[in-house]
Amino acid sequence: MGYTNFGPMGYGPGWNYPLFGSAIILVLLWSLLWKGLALWRAANRGEKWWFIAFLIINTLGILEIIYLFAITGAKLSDFTSKITHNSHNHS
């Protein structure tokens, strides 16, 4: 029997499973961050078609980033200033 690229149980890729799981979690968090920001901004601007598109289309944050910065003209400080402002008010 020769060398195979399968995991310990004889099936699936022989990847480093903890590293692969961590990468999946990071991609999920990245995507959720941008999707949440885009959904929030589209809802506040009353743009229902953008809101629906963000709910249906998953692009790992690419469409959401384009919408936020190219379409609406948002700046990163638009989001970070609200976070720091809100954390000071709750102290």
How much of the chain exceeds pLDDT 70, in percent?
71
pTM of the model: 0.68
Residues 44-77: pLDDT tens digits? 999 999 999 999 998 889 999 999 999 999 999 8
Residues 7-32: pLDDT tens digits? 555 555 555 677 878 888 999 999 99
More confident residue, 3 or 51: 51
Q: Residue ranges per domain, the chain?
A: 17-89
Per-residue pLDDT at 22: 86
For the CA atoms of the chain, what is the radius of gyration? Answer: 19
DSSP secondary structure string, the chain? -----B-TTSSSB---HHHHHHHHHHHHHHHHHHHHHHHHHHHHTT-HHHHHHHHH---TTHHHHIIIIIIS---HHHHHHHHHHHHHHT-
